[in-house]
Structure 1
Amino acid sequence: MRVLVTGADGYIGRGVVQRLLDDGVEVDAWGLLPCGLSHPLLSEHVGDVFELELEGADLPDALLHLAWRNGFVHNDMSHLDDLPKHYAFIKRCVEAGVRHVAVMGSMHEVGYHEGVVCEDTPCRPTTPYGVSKNALRQLCQELCRQHDVTFQWLRGFYLVSNDGRGSSIFAKIVQAAREGKAEFPFTSGTCKYDFLPYDQFCAQVVAAVEQTDVDGIINICSGEPVALGEYIEGFIKENDLGISLAYGRYPDRPYDSPAIWGDNSKIQAILARREGRDA
């Protein structure tokens, strides 16, 4: 299998590319910077993926579109500015003959919702980030339907890592601890979310893309709601960070749901099939 991965230099991209390579998949990696990996199955390209033109002889078996900027700045207008560029790029790939398209989505495209998020949960996003992701999903879904292309929308929930990379709250806590800070300003911590460690997150993305029997919206998640404060307290203890949470310093965001988590039945079915195949 050969997969074209965009955003290969990003926070998720590097872990996903490494997993694909470990599985013996050929990877054409595109990013604004090198992804920092070396492997005989890896072909790396540095540049603006929006300018990439595919030739028939070089078509990958699948496109995995991870590229996205300012993902942690939900109200940044760059999301709306970039939306037509993302769609135009994916459209060029489909019209060139790519038969399998997978795109990274986000729980934020759902908007305010209390409870489990299923494939048919209505989406009512209110931030530029959520609106743009949701619009790209709708556009690509119809595009792939018209061209009879396998389409997977990989809806990511909360990604957890202890390496301090990126701009997530976990990265910020690790960075604050490394700077010797005793407290980390925090919200109420009562909202419940769906958390997934980095390695498991990348493994689920790769498992989904390496097959086509299960398509559509696939939640990349644990399927379990846990209070943010409770989870981070455990994260701090597990990683011996020596920092405490200063609850109530920041208000909860008005568009954050009191409890939201993903239905993980589709990804679990994919993982079960994979384990059965590898057994």
Structure 2
Amino acid sequence: MHVLVTGATGFVGRHLVSALLARGCRVRAVARNLEVAQSMPWFGAVEFIVADIHAAELEVAALTEGVDALAHLAWPGLPNYQGLFHFEHNLMADYAFIKRAVEAGVPQVLVTGTCFEYGLQSGPLDEQTAPQPGNPYGLAKNTLRLFLESLQRELPFTLQWARLFYLHGAGQNRNSLLASLDRAIEAGDASFNMSAGDQLRDYLAIEVAADYLAQILQHRGFSGVINCASGQPISVRALVEQRLRERGASITLNLGHYGYSPHEPMAFWGVADRLKQLLNVEPGEVTEHGA
């Protein structure tokens, strides 16, 4: 299988490229920065193209020639979820790029969505839960999905919409929870400032999530929305304490230093039944690599 990956040097993209190669796929990787790409362990194993996929002069037909699927991960501006640029720029630029790719003959498109499409709804969230996005990022992503579903009625193609929940691992934003904790441990800090930690979230290791995305791409008959989640809620405090045990670290947690985010519900997680049935895995499990 020949896959074009946009945003290939981003947090998810760099791991998806590795997962696809491990599963025997050919990869054409696209990103804007050659120097960053050259630092990737997979650089010599892919066809790498420096390009801005939002550029009007981009020759999309040439970029997509010969590929079986597009894995579209590029989305500038994260982790600023509140910026209006998500729908003022990214939304229409992404739609235009994907439409041009489909018009050029790409038969299958996987797009990474977000759990923020569900908005402030609490509890277990499955794919039948009606989206109620509460921030510009979630609104733009959900609207892009609606646009692409309308496009399918004019230009039939397979659309795989993978809603990502909370991911952690190598390459994550340096200000994210676990990255900040790791930095505090390595600096020998005596304490770590955090919220009370009662929030329930759905966390998934990036290597596991990337393997799931690679498998979804190889299920070429699947079209629709799918939660890319562990399916298991865990409190933020328990997650932090788990990392401390893994690191063999002793650090005082300054609980309640930060308040709760008004942009997220106290407890929500993804229902991973569809993922489990499609891939024949237990949520959180990496399967053996196939051809």
Task: Give the TM-score, by structure 2 length.
Answer: 0.88
- Aligned partner (choices 116, 126, 143) of residue 124 of structure 2: 116
| Residue 62 of structure 1: aligned partner | 69
2:95 is the counterpart of 1:87:
yes
| Residue 237 of structure 2: aligned partner | 229
SS at match of 1:29: strand
CA RMSD, 1 decimal: 2.3
SS at match of 2:137: helix
Matches of 2:150 and 2:68 in 1, distance apart? 20
- Aligned partner (choices 179, 192, 206) of residue 214 of structure 2: 206
| Residue 73 of structure 1: aligned partner | 80
2:173 is the counterpart of 1:169:
no
SS at match of 2:280: helix
The amino acid that maps onto 1:23 is R
| Residue 14 of structure 1: aligned partner | 14
Q: Which has the higher contact order (CA 8 A, sep 6+)?
A: 2
| Residue 42 of structure 1: aligned partner | 46
Number of residue equivalences: 278
Which consecutive residues of structure 2, in runs of 5 or more, have no partner in the other structure? none
Deviations 1:235-258 (A, max 9, x none): 122123443332111111112112
Deviations 1:84-123 (A, max 9, x none): 1111111111111111011011101110011111112111
Deviation of 1:53 (Å): 2.3
Matches of 2:157 and 2:59 in 1, distance apart? 19
The amino acid that maps onto 1:28 is R
The 3 A distance-change label for structure 1 pair 246 and 69 is farther
Deviation of 1:160 (Å): 2.0
Identity %: 33
The amino acid that maps onto 1:9 is T
- Aligned partner (choices 117, 136, 157) of residue 144 of structure 2: 136
Deviation of 1:74 (Å): 1.3
The 3 A distance-change label for structure 1 pair 14 and 253 is same
Matches of 2:26 and 2:289 in 1, distance apart? 20
Deviation of 1:165 (Å): 4.0
Deviation of 1:126 (Å): 1.8
Runs of 4+ more than 6 Å apart: 273-277
The 3 A distance-change label for structure 1 pair 74 and 278 is closer
SS at match of 1:12: helix
Asked whether the 8 Å contact 1:191–1:227 carries over to 2, the reply is yes
